[in-house]
Structure 1
Amino acid sequence: MYHKELYVFDGNRPVPAVIRNYGPEDFPGLIAVQQESFPPPFPPELWWNTEQLGNHVRLFPEGALCIEVNGEIAGSMTGLLVKNESVQPGHAHTWEEVTDGGYIRNHDPHGGTLYVADISVRPTYRKLGLGKWLMLSMYDVVVQLGIDTLLGGGRMPGYHLHAGNMTAEEYLAAVISGRLKDPIITFMLRCGRTPVGVVPNYLEDEESCHYGALMEWRNPFKR
């Protein structure tokens, strides 16, 4: 199981933190993270529920990570394993389909791709860079399991501001070139993820015009 102790920084002040696998005792804190990360008008029924969280720790505990700061759960990240070919470019999918709506009952223990279902950090902790540490820790899981790649679809919340004069593909290219900055896509680039393509109707998200940007990280020990 995963357990990493480290320091994160609040300005110049080191703050102790722990990244570890989450369990049933953490469910109330994990739901609180969801509630704070996705406030209304985000639909409350899309927050994690105890059945989903129970599946995460039962079906793929290695992909169920949380980060604690001063003993409080400040963020989490969840994934599942899927077959490589089921999420390749040209094989269109939605977040709902590939994650089983967050229940991950389709987790494949023999899959070669770790697919990110969710990453969330409480707003009050976001200045500490916890999202990047969670992402880097999930890369550790990919290496430890010896699988090929980490993949996930990111929101493109800045796209609605430019949808009238560029396609989603052009918007992603503009973010990658540095001409534009997107809160989610730029964050993933900073974490070492690289773009695979854009998927229409990936999730219900008006800011992204319902597009998702597939971003991957390849295991450097696999060819």
Structure 2
Amino acid sequence: MYNKKLFVFDGSRNIPVVIRNYKENDFSDLLRVQQESFPPPFPPELWWNKEQIYNHVTLFPEGALCIEVDGKIAGSMTGLLIDFDPKHPEHTWEEITDNGYIRNHEPDGNTLYVVDISVSPSYRKLGLGKWLMFSMYDVVIHKGLERLLGGGRMPGYHKKANEMKSEQYLDFVIKGELYDPVITFLLRCGRTPLRVVKNYLEDEESCNFATLMEWKNPFI
């Protein structure tokens, strides 16, 4: 099972953190992080429930990671394995993740698919999300998978939707001419865009669009 200890920095202050697999008894903390990370207008019904967390830790525990700061869970990241065909990339979050229940997890899949990543806002200046992402890259390498893949929300797009198409918005973000809280973060984590997917998730801020982004295993 995964267990990583490292330091993050708040200015010149070193802060020890632990990244580990979360367990069913972490439910209340994981729910708190979800609620803090995804306030309205994000749909509350998309927050985790106990059955989903139980499936995460029983069907694919290697893909259930959390990060602790001073013993308190400050963020989490969840994935499942799928058999991805780049020639047929269209999908929705609900169908690819079984609506977060991951009962469609494929133990022999070639791709680790990101179900969710969240960090409580009060901890975001510490770079915890990037460390969670890097840790999931470790899982990709350890299991000899082809890639990490996931759909990135585009929460800044609703501000520009009347001016440009979603693909144009993505191009501006890639060039650094626009900032998107999620897509820019994923780019900084080493993820590369494959394409924009429409009707990916019911998400008012993203106008239901998402950018499918991958990280390829450099050893394959």
Indicate the residue corresponding to 1:10 in structure 2: 10
| Per-residue deviation, 1:151 | 0.3
Alignment of 1:13-24 (within 5 A): 13-24=13-24
CA distance in 1, matches of 2:207, 2:25: 37
Indicate the residue corresponding to 2:182 in structure 1: 184
Note the alpha carbon deviations across 1:134-172, whole angstroms, 9 max, x for none.
000000000000000000000111111111221111111
Indicate the residue corresponding to 1:145 in structure 2: 143
| Per-residue deviation, 1:3 | 0.3
Note the alpha carbon deviations across 1:42-76, whole angstroms, 9 max, x for none.
33322101100000000000000000000000000
SS in 2 for 1:102: coil
User: Could you say if the C-alpha distance between residues 158 and 89 of structure 1 is closer, same or farther in structure 2, counting changes exceeding 3 Å?
Assistant: farther
Q: For structure 2, which runs of at least 5 residues remain unmatched after alignment?
A: none
Equivalent pairs, count: 220
CA distance in 1, matches of 2:14, 2:185: 22
Q: Return the letter of the residue paired with 2:73.
A: I
CA distance in 2, matches of 1:217, 1:146: 13
Q: TM-score, normalised by structure 1?
A: 0.96
Q: Return the letter of the residue paired with 1:151.
A: L
CA distance in 1, matches of 2:88, 2:197: 9
Is 1:47 paired with 2:47?
yes
Is 1:208 paired with 2:199?
no
SS in 1 for 2:27: helix
Q: Percent identity?
A: 70
SS in 1 for 2:15: strand
Q: Return the letter of the residue paired with 2:103.
A: R
**Worse overlay, 33-42 or 143-152:** 33-42
CA distance in 1, matches of 2:146, 2:54: 26
| Per-residue deviation, 1:216 | 0.3
Indicate the residue corresponding to 1:58 in structure 2: 58
CA distance in 2, matches of 1:184, 1:207: 11
Q: TM-score, normalised by structure 2?
A: 0.97
CA distance in 1, matches of 2:180, 2:46: 23
